[in-house]
């Protein structure tokens, strides 16, 4: 039954692709070039708008195919290291404006999740969706105590739909890899695997709630960013309940101006929030598109951001965190040599890379952009060029850096929208310098000692025994090494003795056989045997005596 459903879905997908003229894209590849005439048999070939570029038609087809394909297009738009620029720009236009499912169905899902009637949980529940996305939709409600909340509910049968469509995406990827080398370079299977992992993370609202709680702790009492409170008592895997916030969508510039919001301050704070999450916490919101960001109106001169939707979060390890901070700081200082060295030290590019060549390549990309306002440059394009430059030096794709690139592009978009004159470099540089000062020097050492002090205090009583055991292990290792060395020497000596015995045995037998043959072939009597033969026979006998008297060196016995 599942296979029949997949076949029907596949037919529907092909119908939409052909209707948008995407059969031309496939037939334009080198493999199918001889079959190009088949495009003329497509009835929509004569009706669809041939002036539209195929990138736009791909975007339109994904929109019509449904929420999973829209989500896939959004994810693809962040992989500018893999896609052509025109296609990435077109896919970036995809939005999470998906038609909502009926409110009555949302109520049934909530009641089934809690196993009780809706009015025993909520005082009010608005069946009209406040927002609708590809994975879930949001409804307003009130708890029994009157607290206003929002309820995020997964779409019905979304897991089944995702599994079905992701399987089809894998099938498409395998077929395309066989048919085109250009497609192989884009590594479609790896892209879909990454997409599948992201989707499964977003399908667990308990995980999203945990992400929100962590981010809320990181920015507790912060004037920069506010994270709504999670109501854990009401949160399940398919339903999440959180505090309802009020603010102006970050994309509504006119409303921000009307409330007297300081746009320059707001733009600078977006940069500070980004680097605080990435450099200080190593945990950052990786889905910061305008639909997920709001601005509080309480303090227009010092505005505060409000973030929602925590399904996609990025993390950095301590090593990546430090190298990234040093890379950015060296980049801002135009120390391209240090940038190149850090790429090698971090393992992002091969260790055998010529640092001077990589340094020159980075300088060529970065030098033209400095001391220019944000409105005149695209940091996203610079970052893309850096990735392309590093790819020439066999830089491996770092998943954590891809999410970072996506987030930085979103921050740049916010800055460009709010205050085009923003100087990203001068805004970020003091923050990075402050962080690095906190990581090195006497204060950093004291802080690390304080952090490790409880662990050392706990281990202190066991230290004498640990030291004794370590010394015993060292003695045992030394003893074992000495035995191994003696065995090697004994084996070497035995081989020498064996070779010497073989030599004397062979020499003695050869001499005796030679003398015997000589005597047997001669006509003279034994008394008339020449002295030379007697001498050779004697030497042969002595050689045999040496061979059988050779013994192993007693030193190694």
The helix or strand, by DSSP H or E, that contains position 64, with its residue range, turns out to be helix 54-65
Tell whether the model's pLDDT for residue 551 goes beyond 70: no
pLDDT of residue 306: 95
pLDDT of residue 112: 94
Name the packing angle between helices 463-521 and 531-549 (round to 10°): 160
pLDDT of residue 512: 66
pLDDT of residue 37: 44
Reported pTM: 0.68
Question: Look-up: residue for tokens 């992989």?
Answer: 79
Which residues are paired to 124 by β-bridges? 142
Tell whether the model's pLDDT for residue 532 goes beyond 80: no
Whole-number CA gyration radius for the chain: 38
pLDDT of residue 471: 74
CA dihedral 59, 73, 81, 78 (to 10 degrees): 120
Q: Which of 333, 329, 347 is nearest to 390 (CA)?
A: 347
Residue 151 contacts residue 138 (beta carbons within 8 Å): yes
Question: What mean pLDDT, rounded, does the chain reach?
Answer: 77
Per-domain residue ranges of the chain: 2-96+163-198, 102-154+205-244, 248-440, 490-556
Cα distance between the two ends of the chain: 78
pLDDT of residue 204: 92
pLDDT of residue 31: 41
Per-residue CA distances from 479 to 466, 475, 488 (Å): 20, 6, 14
Most confident of 28-37, 227-236, 426-435: 227-236
pLDDT of residue 220: 93
Tokens read off for 205: 């609202």
Higher pLDDT, 340 or 82: 340
The helix or strand, by DSSP H or E, that contains position 516, with its residue range, turns out to be helix 463-521
Tell whether the model's pLDDT for residue 45 goes beyond 90: no
pLDDT of residue 231: 97
Tell me the three-class secondary structure of 491-514, residue by residue. HHHHHHHHHHHHHHHHHHHHHHHH
369/360 Cα distance (integer angstroms)? 15
Residue 386 contacts residue 373 (beta carbons within 8 Å): no
Ranking 148-152, 428-432, 455-459 by mean pLDDT, the lowest is 455-459
How many CB atoms neighbour CB 43 within 10 A? 9
Q: Report the phi/psi class of residue 231: left, alpha or beta, with left for phi > 0 and alpha for psi in -120 to 50.
A: beta
Mean pLDDT of 191-207: 83
Question: Look-up: residue for tokens 């065995």?
Answer: 487
Class of the domain covering 102-154+205-244: alpha beta
Residue range 400-418, pLDDT digits in tens: 677 777 787 778 777 777 8
Residue 47 contacts residue 70 (beta carbons within 8 Å): no
pLDDT of residue 394: 74
Q: Where are the alpha helices (DSSP H) in 67-187?
A: 67-77, 85-91, 103-114, 158-179, 181-185
Question: Look-up: residue for tokens 């003279």?
Answer: 524
The residues that are catalytic are 287
pLDDT of residue 554: 45
Mean pLDDT of 459-479: 74
Residue range 231-245, pLDDT digits in tens: 999 999 999 999 999
Tokens read off for 81: 């290291």
The helix or strand, by DSSP H or E, that contains position 332, with its residue range, turns out to be helix 318-332
Number of H helices, E strands in the chain: 21, 11
Per-residue CA distances from 408 to 94, 424, 465 (Å): 19, 11, 51
Residue range 107-134, pLDDT digits in tens: 999 999 999 999 999 999 999 999 887 7
């Amino acid at each position: 039954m599942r296979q029949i459903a997949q076949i029907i879905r596949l037919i529907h997908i092909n119908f939409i692709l052909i209707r948008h003229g995407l059969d031309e894209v496939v037939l334009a590849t080198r493999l199918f070039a001889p079959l190009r005439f088949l495009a003329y048999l497509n009835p929509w070939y004569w009706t669809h708008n041939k002036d539209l570029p195929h990138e736009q038609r791909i975007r339109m087809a994904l929109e019509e195919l449904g929420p999973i394909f829209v989500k896939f297009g959004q994810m693809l738009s962040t992989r500018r290291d893999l896609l052509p620029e025109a296609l990435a720009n077109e896919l970036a236009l995809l939005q999470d404006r998906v038609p909502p499912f009926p409110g009555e169905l949302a109520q049934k899902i909530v009641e089934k999740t809690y196993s009780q009637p809706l009015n025993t949980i909520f005082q009010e529940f608005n069946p009209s969706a406040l927002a609708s996305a590809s994975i879930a939709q949001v409804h307003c409600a009130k708890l029994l105590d009157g607290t206003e909340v929002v309820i995020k509910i997964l779409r019905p049968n979304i897991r089944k739909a995702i599994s079905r469509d992701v399987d089809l995406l894998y099938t498409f990827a395998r077929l395309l890899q066989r048919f085109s080398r250009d497609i192989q370079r884009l590594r479609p299977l790896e892209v879909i695997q990454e997409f599948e992992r992201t989707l499964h993370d977003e399908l667990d609202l308990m995980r999203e709630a945990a992400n929100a709680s962590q981010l809320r702790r990181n920015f507790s009492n912060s004037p920069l960013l506010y994270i709504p409170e999670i109501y854990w008592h009401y949160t399940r895997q398919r339903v999440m309940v959180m505090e309802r916030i009020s603010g102006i969508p970050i994309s509504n510039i006119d409303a921000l101006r009307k409330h007297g919001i300081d746009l320059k301050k707001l733009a600078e704070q977006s940069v500070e929030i980004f680097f605080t999450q990435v450099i200080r916490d190593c945990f950052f919101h990786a889905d910061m598109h305008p639909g997920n960001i709001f601005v509080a109106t309480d303090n227009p001169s010092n505005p505060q951001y409000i973030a929602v939707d925590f399904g996609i979060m990025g993390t950095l390890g301590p090593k990546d965190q430090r190298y990234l901070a040093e890379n950015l700081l060296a980049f801002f200082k135009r120390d391209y040599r240090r940038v190149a060295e850090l790429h090698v030290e971090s393992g992002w590019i091969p260790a055998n890379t010529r640092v001077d060549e990589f340094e020159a390549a980075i300088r060529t990309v970065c030098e033209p952009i400095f001391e220019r306002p944000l409105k005149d440059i695209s940091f996203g394009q610079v970052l893309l060029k850096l990735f392309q430059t590093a790819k020439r030096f066999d830089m491996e794709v770092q998943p954590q850096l891809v999410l970072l690139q996506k987030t930085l592009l979103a921050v740049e978009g916010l800055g460009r929208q709010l205050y085009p004159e923003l100087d990203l470099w001068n805004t970020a540089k003091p923050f990075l310098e402050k962080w690095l000062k906190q990581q090195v020097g006497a204060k950093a050492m004291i802080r690390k000692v304080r952090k490790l002090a409880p662990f050392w205090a706990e281990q202190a009583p066991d230290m004498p025994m640990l030291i004794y055991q370590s010394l015993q292990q060292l003695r045992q290792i030394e003893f074992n090494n000495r035995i191994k060395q003696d065995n090697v020497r004994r084996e070497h000596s035995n081989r020498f003795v064996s070779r010497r015995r073989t030599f004397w045995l062979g020499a003695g037998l050869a001499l005796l056989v030679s003398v015997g043959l000589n005597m047997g072939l001669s006509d003279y009597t034994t008394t008339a045997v020449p002295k030379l033969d007697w001498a050779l026979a004697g030497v042969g006998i002595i050689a045999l005596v040496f061979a059988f008297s050779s013994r192993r060196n007693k030193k190694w016995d």
